[in-house]
Structure 1
Amino acid sequence: MRRRTTRLLVATVLIAVAPALVGAAPAAAQRPGTATAPPVTWSDCDDGYQCATVAAPLDYDQPRGRQISLSLIKDPATDPANRIGTLFVNFGGPGASGVERLRARGRWEWLFSPELRARFDLVSWDTRGVGRSSAVRCFGTEAEQQEFFSTIPAFPVGASEERAFYAAAEDLGRRCRDRNGDLLDHLSSADTARDLDLLRRAVGDSHLNYFGLSYGTYVGATYANLFPDRVRALVLDGALDFIGNATGHGINGLTKPIDTRQDVPRGIAETFDQFLRRCAAAGAAKCAFAAGGDPRTKFAELTARARQRPVVVDGESWSYTSIISTVNDNLPRPLWWADLAVQLERLYNAPQTATLGARAARPTPGEEYLANNTEAFYATNCADSIVPGNTAIYSRLGASEERRVPYFGPIGVFDYMPCAKWPARNTDRYLGPWDRWTAAPILVVNNRYDPSTPWHGARDATAELARGRLFTIEGAGHTGMFVPSTCGERVKREYLFTGALPAPGVVCAADDDPFA
């Protein structure tokens, strides 16, 4: 998904924001001018991977105008005699480095089996605005970047926090505009889909093979509708609701923030319910938070106490917001659930009064930084979607969503807040339609309980596509990247090999028990 996750047990400190409702939606952009496919010169970059940098138009309306750079990585097919082609992989975000993620995860066998790697070159890239490609950076140094985000909670509680939250969101937009100029106007997923078609042509493939995870499903669906005749096989794993992401459904869609109208909080709550149920079933020997009582009751008691005053453990203060956001951050990876249970138990058993420790040291000032996940997250999402611009809407929904989905409702309201006042306007973004007839059918995959891209959103996404089929993994967590399923990988692999969809109703189980 899309949602930024922090390391285990580190409270989220990034702002959450969303694209802005500013007038009518621009007409759906189809195919601006055709850019010449650039040459790709691969060079070795350790461990068998190959890397390259290619040029792409900043603005596809002016394909021979100003160019930006795209950084690529390839893991060549291990059986070149039987190679099918290139499988382009987008690991999600937006904002995460595809180059670094393919290097780190390209040989996870439950994600890319040896059989799959034999038949395809795996290629990923830092999408425009990200990492080693032409990137959006809104701060001079990493120290300045981290200082800014460290002061902002995942979501505000109360009018005073809301005012500060809205001001910080608007300040972020100003900083990004001041430092990035017109790059900010050309960072939509439609621009990335056009880059993807440029890369497809550059590697010599006549049709696209693609594996998109989380936000990468939105890029894939955008490509499928901009270039429907060029689709060979698309796997969309952890799917966004495409209409919900762009505009929302019906006349009231535009009056809600992105994750509220996609009902992401419901997906978080359903996955957290799985955490609590499985923790209780595992018992204290395997899940620390099951010790001495029902985990659901203990969590209610813990959060009620944190609403009154922060809980302090080992000199670190945990507010209500930081506890909720930490749970949310760790639900996508079941591998982290046992450690999350340990931390919740520590918080639950913390004394009523404790001494705060010294504030952690900030990074020292330095050169321009590489990791720009958060800036790129907003720069792309704010370009893609239309959202309310009136902060009063967010304040009102923050309260009502808390009642509708306890604990997690406000996350969906405030997750994209900077987009309400985002200072860029992308005239070539794609807002639909999403049902153009593609040259081949599309496989949509989703875990039954996914906190970031809920199953109900994948069901809606599949219905929005002209030729989509939903395939379900009976597991909890975010995408096949974090929920290994040998059965599920085999189904995805066979579709990529043959183009044949699994039979309707076929499901696969996840391999692991989080509390085994």
Structure 2
Amino acid sequence: MRAMRRSGKARGTRRSGARAAVALAAAGLLMVSGTCTSSAQDRGAAGPSGGSGGLSGTAACPGLEGFSCATLTVPLDHSGAVRGRLGLKVAMGDNANAPKGVLLFLTGGPGQPGVPFVERIAKAMEPVLKDYRLVMIDQRGTGGNALQCPELQAQMGSSDLTPPTAGAVRDCAAAIGTDRRFYSTGDTVADLELLRRALGVRKLTLDGVSYGTYTAERYALAHPGRVARLVLDSVVPQTGYDPMDLAAMRAAPRVLTEACESIGCTTDPAADLAEVVDTYDNGVDVLDAVTTWGFVDPDYAEMIDALHQAAEGDPGLLGGLIQGVRQGSAASAEELSQGLHASTLCLDGRYPWGRSDAPVAGRRAALEKAGAELTPADHGPFDAATATGLGSMLSCLDWPRTPAPPLPAAHRRLPGVPVLLLGGDRDLSTPVEWVYAQKKLTPWARVVVVAGVAHSVQSRAASDEGRRAVHDFLLGR
């Protein structure tokens, strides 16, 4: 999709092409193959410790040479207070005696499974797989165990910026029930420690992408002696995700201007962006569309054109791209579970009203107060209504009161192991500014920022620069 360039021809046709482009990009990001099917959640009578932490049913992964699939049984509640178990599907390279041990690759979301992506990740990691045993897991609440919230899923798809209705949020929480308190990142970290033990290895090398970086960071903070190396690609800092997405709002003018310069366009996309948001009062839609467009074309060519036309009074092309983003972001719960996404973000997050255990009645007032205190320096060309109206914020605004799990001290340093921080300078989903924020808390960090690349450098970048950096890092070069 990097061939898109500014043109004044056939606008109606280009709107249809843009919608198809987004749909293809979403499919490429979320495509679920037939590698393994996940078993349903087991809520049998056995106590939380009975049968937990072991791998069972190991067999060759259908259609995937060199990998075996198994089920990791974990307790629903790691504290042991609530009975029940979960069966999480795991795919493992058959080279169990790999000289550098296990490479655990963590996907994003929250809500994306891991096992369906084994073949794709194995191809990207092929140069290191003689030395490492690649392992991937469907984290709790994903894949075949996906938390099902049909209306919220239909409204948000694979986006965390699209605003949901309050009714869809409440219906989702009600469908999951009180078990929603067992889907924090801390619960997943505890699952990963059981996976390490089941694999029989002393340490893990973790490679996380997007939300997977946050999971890897949290694992390293909880189990510092169990980590050999960390690759953090498209970094979410260990301090947590900002539900107002202010870093992305501030980064958007830089990203669009750099993209414009790279393709030789003659407009001022930063000025156009500010004019569009001010004129049409559509900051949430625009931020969602611009952020997603990096997956389609990290040069943002057609988006830059659309913003310029809208700034000059013709919003037709921009409206078509926004509509295309919404259509192209459709995803099933098995591809990316919005129920799990909301459950995890609401438990992990810090919001203007506090955490998930704050009374619902006072949340909106706290949000409005926080929005009123924002300045243009905080949100750049966008506005306070954008910051307070994003999907990740509104999902948790209406999420029922739920006990909040403990979080690690926000500014604890990661353990002193080799860490590669990887990012693309065109990424608005996890802006490169977050790479440098995490670097301050990472003693042995190597930073690689790849020019002209957006989100998920290892699997989506046209350039091999980021992948080569990962391979060299993992092989100790």
Do they fold alike, i.e. is TM over 0.5?
Answer: yes
Shift of 1:342: 6.6
Matching residue of 1:237 = 233
Shift of 1:186: 0.8
Name the amino acid aligned to 1:377.
H
Q: Residue 102 in 1 paired to residue 118 in 2?
A: yes
Inter-partner Cα distance in structure 2 for 1:272 and 1:187: 36
Matching residue of 2:471 = 493
Shift in CA distance, 147/88, structure 1 to aligned 2, threshold 3 Å: closer
Residues 188 and 429, structure 1, Cα contact 8 Å, conserved in 2: no
Inter-partner Cα distance in structure 2 for 1:265 and 1:34: 48
Inter-partner Cα distance in structure 1 for 2:94 and 2:308: 46
Shift in CA distance, 296/240, structure 1 to aligned 2, threshold 3 Å: closer
* Unmatched tracts of structure 2, length 5 or more: 1-18, 24-47, 354-362
Matching residue of 1:370 = 334
Inter-partner Cα distance in structure 2 for 1:216 and 1:186: 18
Provide Cα deviations, 1:208-263, integer angstroms capped at 9, x if missing partner: 11101111111111111111111111111222222254xxxxxxxxxxx5345x63
Q: Residue 92 in 1 paired to residue 92 in 2?
A: no
Matching residue of 1:57 = 75
Shift of 1:89: 0.8
Aligned counterpart for 2:140 among listed residues 128, 138, 161? 128
- TM-score after normalising by structure 1: 0.67
Inter-partner Cα distance in structure 1 for 2:77 and 2:134: 27
Shift of 1:33: 8.7
Partner SS for 1:211 = strand
Shift of 1:35: 8.6
After the TM superposition, which residues 439-450 of structure 1 pair with which residues of structure 2 at under 5 Å, given as runs?
440-450=417-427
Inter-partner Cα distance in structure 2 for 1:324 and 1:434: 29
Aligned counterpart for 2:149 among listed residues 128, 138, 142? 138
Partner SS for 2:130 = helix
Inter-partner Cα distance in structure 2 for 1:304 and 1:64: 51
Inter-partner Cα distance in structure 2 for 1:428 and 1:42: 36
Inter-partner Cα distance in structure 2 for 1:138 and 1:352: 33
Provide Cα deviations, 1:145-198, integer angstroms capped at 9, x if missing partner: 555559x99578xxxxxxxx7xx24x3442223211232001111111111111
Shift in CA distance, 305/444, structure 1 to aligned 2, threshold 3 Å: closer
Inter-partner Cα distance in structure 2 for 1:426 and 1:444: 33
Inter-partner Cα distance in structure 1 for 2:219 and 2:97: 29
Provide Cα deviations, 1:372-392, integer angstroms capped at 9, x if missing partner: 532222111111122123323
Partner SS for 1:445 = strand
Inter-partner Cα distance in structure 2 for 1:296 and 1:463: 29
Inter-partner Cα distance in structure 1 for 2:271 and 2:351: 36
Q: Which moved further from structure 2: 485-494 or 186-195?
A: 485-494
Q: Residue 384 in 1 paired to residue 359 in 2?
A: no
Inter-partner Cα distance in structure 1 for 2:450 and 2:316: 44
Partner SS for 2:111 = coil
Matching residue of 1:510 = none
Partner SS for 1:42 = strand
Inter-partner Cα distance in structure 1 for 2:437 and 2:445: 11
Inter-partner Cα distance in structure 2 for 1:124 and 1:424: 33
Shift in CA distance, 155/269, structure 1 to aligned 2, threshold 3 Å: farther
Residues 152 and 168, structure 2, Cα contact 8 Å, conserved in 1: no
Name the amino acid aligned to 2:382.
Y
Matching residue of 1:270 = 254
Inter-partner Cα distance in structure 1 for 2:334 and 2:90: 16
Matching residue of 1:430 = 407
Shift in CA distance, 336/410, structure 1 to aligned 2, threshold 3 Å: farther
Name the amino acid aligned to 2:469.
V
Residues 170 and 398, structure 2, Cα contact 8 Å, conserved in 1: no
After the TM superposition, which residues 184-203 of structure 1 pair with which residues of structure 2 at under 5 Å, given as runs?
184-203=180-199
Shift in CA distance, 443/304, structure 1 to aligned 2, threshold 3 Å: closer
Matching residue of 1:403 = 376
Aligned counterpart for 2:450 among listed residues 473, 488, 491? 473
Name the amino acid aligned to 1:87.
L
Name the amino acid aligned to 1:131.
G
Partner SS for 2:422 = strand
Q: Aligned residues, how many?
A: 410
Provide Cα deviations, 1:333-383, integer angstroms capped at 9, x if missing partner: 5457345457668878996899x99x99xx9xxxx9634532222111111
Name the amino acid aligned to 2:294.
L
Q: Residue 71 in 1 paired to residue 89 in 2?
A: yes
Inter-partner Cα distance in structure 2 for 1:352 and 1:413: 24
Aligned counterpart for 2:60 among listed residues 43, 51, 60? 43
Matching residue of 1:176 = 172
Inter-partner Cα distance in structure 2 for 1:70 and 1:7: 34
Shift in CA distance, 127/408, structure 1 to aligned 2, threshold 3 Å: farther
Q: Residue 325 in 1 paired to residue 302 in 2?
A: no
Matching residue of 1:511 = none
Matching residue of 1:21 = none
Shift of 1:125: 1.7
**Percent of pairs identical after alignment?**
23
* Unmatched tracts of structure 1, length 5 or more: 1-5, 11-31, 157-164, 246-256, 284-289, 308-318, 501-516
Name the amino acid aligned to 1:376.
L
Partner SS for 1:87 = strand
Shift of 1:83: 4.2
Q: CA RMSD in A?
A: 4.0
Shift in CA distance, 274/464, structure 1 to aligned 2, threshold 3 Å: same
Inter-partner Cα distance in structure 2 for 1:321 and 1:419: 17
Q: Residue 217 in 1 paired to residue 229 in 2?
A: no
Residues 402 and 410, structure 1, Cα contact 8 Å, conserved in 2: no
Shift in CA distance, 411/376, structure 1 to aligned 2, threshold 3 Å: farther
Partner SS for 1:242 = coil
Structure 1 runs (4+) deviating above 6 angstroms are 32-35, 345-354
Inter-partner Cα distance in structure 1 for 2:248 and 2:275: 24
Partner SS for 2:397 = helix
Shift in CA distance, 410/199, structure 1 to aligned 2, threshold 3 Å: farther
Inter-partner Cα distance in structure 1 for 2:290 and 2:302: 11
Residues 188 and 384, structure 1, Cα contact 8 Å, conserved in 2: yes
Inter-partner Cα distance in structure 2 for 1:410 and 1:352: 20
Residues 388 and 420, structure 1, Cα contact 8 Å, conserved in 2: no
Name the amino acid aligned to 1:387.
Y
